[in-house]
Amino acid sequence: MRRVTLTQFLIEQQRAGRINADLRLLLEVVARAVKAIAVNVSKGALAGVLGEAGTDNVQGEAQKKLDVIANEILVQANEWGGHLAAMASEEVETVCRIPFDYPKGGYLLLFDPLDGSSNIDVNISVGTIFSVLRNPPGDDEPQEQDFLQPGHQQVAAGYAVYGPATQLVLTVGNGVHAFTLDREMGSFIYTQPYMTVPEDTKEYAINASNARFWEAPVKRYVDELQQGKSGPRGKDFNMRWVASMVADVHRVLTRGGIFMYPLDEKNRDKGGKLRLMYEANPMAMLVEQAGGAASTGRERILDVAPVALHQRVPVILGSKDEVERVVAYHTGA
């Protein structure tokens, strides 16, 4: 079988008119950064990269060393290529500007450099999530305002999962495509074309320790799942919760299911737990491109009009029928 690399895949996307040369370069550079992050993640204690960085980020979270390292790798890889107007990161409070002596391009790149930080020190899968938007014309020095575009305007989105294998999962608006890192060759090989979220599912992912804080619609939905065969759903469901969004969503994309981080009494003041611009939006685009659905419970995630770079939203995504059911419980439809 012919082994297709990510580079070949992207060249073919460009020939088909789906991406231009700048977006191709951007995605190549993100993939290169992902390889460098994978090296650091896999060395773990051998490279002295585990543990706390000793600083807090803008979300009030204690940064891990790998949060900081992954952020630096992504910023440094992307800032000089000439394809970006600016960047934004979970780990940086404001817009990351392109240094004045480098050329600028037409895209905005947003990322969660290391997702699932709480799992780093216990050697469980973590990931990187990214989203690409167009810089609105006429603004050479983008401000926060320029990033605040609804998710349906994303031109590309993806994630890397650093698990037993490192995989890159990508969409440029024409289906979801997965690549597996061949460590010896140092290249991503095209392993899963057109991923689809299976409709029929028996799995759900939610942090059940928050059950007492959930709203009634989520309580009702999960309660029905837990009643199993003898309940209204008439079948047994299994629960999985990695606590790395990337790993949990990757499972949903691979074998179906539903992933929820809903609004609850603990996160209500902040509007949710997960961040809209670099967690919810890219994952929502991927899941929709794979035939699934993604909602806050009350609104399609990709239609949420952002008001702040680090804004949080409730997230309910995965197999379409399940998401529609949870939405119906919220809206009373």
CB of 210 to ligand AHG, least distance (A): 7
Map residues 155-194 to x or -, x wherever contact with ligand AHG holds by CB under 6 A. ----------------------------------------
| Of residues 104 and 251, the one with the C-beta less far from Mn ion | 251
Please classify residue 65 by burial: count the beta carbons closer than 10 Å to its beta carbon, then call 0-12 exposed, 13-18 middle and 19+ buried: buried
Question: How many residues interact with ligand AHG (rule CB under 6 A)?
Answer: 12
115: annotated binding-site residue? yes
322 binds, among ligand AHG, Mn ion, none (CB under 5 to 8 A by kind): none
244 binds, among Mn ion, ligand AHG, none (CB under 5 to 8 A by kind): ligand AHG
207 binds, among Mn ion, ligand AHG, none (CB under 5 to 8 A by kind): ligand AHG
d(CA 281, CA 295): 10
In order, the DSSP letters of 169-195 are EEESSS--EEEEEETTTTEEEEEESS-
Map residues 135-154 to x or -, x wherever contact with ligand AHG holds by CB under 6 A. --------------------
| Of residues 19 and 301, the one with the C-beta less far from ligand AHG | 301
125: left (phi over 0), alpha (psi -120 to 50) or beta: beta
Indicate the angle between helix axes 216-226 and 320-331, nearest 10 degrees.
140
Please enumerate in sequence order all residues whose Cβ is within 8 A of that of 140, keeping only pairs 6 or more positions apart, or say none: 85, 104
Contact status: 116 vs ligand AHG (CB under 6 A): yes
Indicate the angle between helix axes 281-289 and 245-255, nearest 10 degrees.
10
Q: Which of residues 32-91 bind ligand AHG (CB under 6 A)?
A: 61, 90
| Of residues 79 and 112, the one with the C-beta less far from ligand AHG | 112
273: annotated binding-site residue? yes
Fill in the DSSP letter of residue 61. P
d(CA 190, CA 180): 7
Q: How many other CB atoms are found less than 10 A from the CB of residue 218?
A: 23
Map residues 56-75 to x or -, x wherever contact with Mn ion holds by CB under 5 A. -----x--------------
List interacting residues with ligand AHG (CB under 6 A).
61, 90, 112, 115-118, 207, 243-245, 261
